[in-house]
Amino acid sequence: MTTPENTTTAAVAAAAPQAPERQGLPPGKMPELRVMPAPSDANVYGDVFGGWIMAQVDIAGSLPATRRANGRVATVAVNSFVFKNPVFVGDLLSFYADIIKVGNTSITVNVEVYAERNRLQACTVKVTEATLTYVATGPDRKPRQVPPLETLL
Ligand SMILES: CC(C)(COP(=O)(O)OP(=O)(O)OC[C@H]1O[C@@H](n2cnc3c(N)ncnc32)[C@H](O)[C@@H]1OP(=O)(O)O)[C@@H](O)C(=O)NCCC(=O)NCCS
């Protein structure tokens, strides 16, 4: 039942400053990569370089693509890349990568990155989302067909 008293309580709660959104790591999923940025990965402001994060995302995305291609792949496109929150030196980053599309020679992968910071306080923040396309290539570095799923071990 809504009373003047609990209506006031709700209004006070709504007006209170919002704590930053906290999320856990995605349940039941294994990250492709876990890595902690070092001071040498930071920019002059002390936050981690976007380029360093992009390199790790490219590596993480290439892992499922390489397994699906059963061999070498080359990154042909970064379709989207969003830095949702800053990354700090000492954050423990987890990179989750899922194949979202398989074409004739291409494999598109979605990568999500979570930072565990202040780890003793269990604070986890999604920091980056990206989609990249890889192309299966042969020894000549030319595109080759992605093998049918049933031929993979
Ligand atoms: C990757 C590479 C081998 C592809 O060769 P290409 O002759 O350009 O390839 P194609 O035009 O035949 O396209 C191959 C596939 O990539 C896809 N593709 C090409 N450009 C794309 C783009 N901008 N965005 C998304 N997909 C793209 C095509 O749709 C095609 O997919 P499909 O076969 O599943 O339909 C060549 O572009 C290359 O060597 N690029 C440099 C790669 C590199 O150095 N990456 C950085 C280090 S890994």
pLDDT at 16 exceeding the cut of 50? no
What whole-number distance in Å separates Cα of residue 46 and Cα of residue 60?
Answer: 24
* Nearest atom within ligand 1 for CA of residue 146: 34
Confidence of residue 4 (pLDDT cuts 50, 70, 90): low
pTM: 0.87
Q: What is the pLDDT of residue 12?
A: 46
**Residue 58 belongs to what H/E stretch?**
helix 50-69
Q: pLDDT (tens digit, 9 = 90+) per residue, 39-96?
A: 999 999 989 999 999 999 999 999 999 999 999 999 999 999 999 999 999 999 999 9
CATH for 20-151, options being 3.90.600.10, 3.10.129.10, 3.30.450.40, 3.40.50.1370: 3.10.129.10
Pocket test for ligand 1, best of 133, 135, 145 (most atoms within 8 A of CB): 135
Q: Identify whether the C-beta of residue 96 lies closer than 8 Å to the C-beta of residue 56.
A: no
